[in-house]
């Protein structure tokens, strides 16, 4: 991935990851989309998980800055690059890290509708991008922290990087599910 350093580049990559995911998922038939393998999530659950994670991330960008600072403190190190953040996340996954609590989606019946699930995810990602666009300057993304369930406290820049990678990570998983 090209270097992502400015707020505008971050937003562009969030939207690119969203658009790629939407384009792919909209072509999947409902039977495959909602199929629940025994030990894995359905594609519908992947999308639900992405929606929950994205909405959780957005909180850090919409709360008043003093609340974000009060809650998570100040960074004591520079932000990691996109690649460094991805490496740290992959390392956590390799050590057994996985979604827990509210981030684990319940089984989803096809009656919920693929279109609604996809629209909810699209809305969450667009709201996240809008929150970053409206409220934050590029340099501020390195000056505030947010908690992450696997990565600990990370800067808001790293949280944005996480959302880009997390979407692409789940898209890769979704593609694997449609290859079988």
* Domain contains 88: yes
**pLDDT for residue 2 is more than 80:** no
With residue 145 as reference, give the H or E element that holds it.
Answer: strand 145-148
Q: Domain for residue 2, yes or no?
A: no
pLDDT band, residue 109 (cuts 50/70/90):
confident
Angle between helices 156-179 and 82-94 (to 10 degrees): 60
> Residue 73 in contact with residue 159, Cβ under 8 Å?
no
What's the total number of domains in the chain? 1
Residue 111 forms part of a structural domain: yes
**Residue 37 placed within a domain:** yes
Q: To the nearest whole number, what is the mean pLDDT of the chain?
A: 95
Residue 31 has pLDDT above 70, yes or no: yes
What global pTM score does this model have?
0.95
80-107 tens-digit pLDDT: 999 999 999 999 999 999 998 899 999 8
Structural domain for 116, as ranges: 7-179
Question: Tell me, what CATH number does 20's domain have?
Answer: 1.20.120.450
pLDDT confidence of residue 166: 98
Residues linked to residue 179 through DSSP beta bridges, in sequence order: none
Beta bridge partners of 154: 146
Instruction: Answer yes or no: is 1 within a domain.
Output: no
Within a domain: 73: yes
Question: Has residue 156 been placed in a domain?
Answer: yes
Q: How far apart are the first and last CA of the chain?
A: 28
Q: Give me the pLDDT at residue 157, please.
A: 98
Percent of the chain with pLDDT over 90: 88
pLDDT at 111 over 90: no
């Amino acid at each position: 991935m090209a270097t992502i350093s400015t707020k505008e580049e971050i937003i562009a990559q969030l939207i690119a990851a969203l658009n790629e995911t939407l384009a792919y998922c909209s072509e999947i038939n409902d039977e495959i989309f909602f199929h629940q393998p025994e030990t894995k999530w359905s594609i519908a659950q992947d999308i639900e998980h992405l929606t929950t994670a994205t909405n959780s991330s957005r909180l850090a960008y919409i709360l008043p800055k003093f609340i974000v600072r009060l809650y998570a403190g100040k960074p004591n190190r520079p932000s990691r690059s996109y690649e460094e953040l991805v490496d740290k996340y992959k390392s956590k996954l390799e050590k057994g890290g996985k979604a827990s609590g509210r981030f684990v989606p319940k089984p989803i019946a096809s009656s919920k509708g693929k279109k609604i699930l996809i629209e909810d995810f699209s809305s969450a990602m667009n709201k996240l991008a809008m929150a970053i666009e409206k409220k934050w300057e590029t340099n501020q993304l390195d000056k505030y922290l947010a908690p992450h369930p696997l990565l600990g406290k990370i800067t808001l820049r790293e949280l944005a990087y996480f959302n880009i990678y997390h979407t692409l990570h789940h898209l890769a998983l979704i593609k694997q599910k449609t290859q079988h």
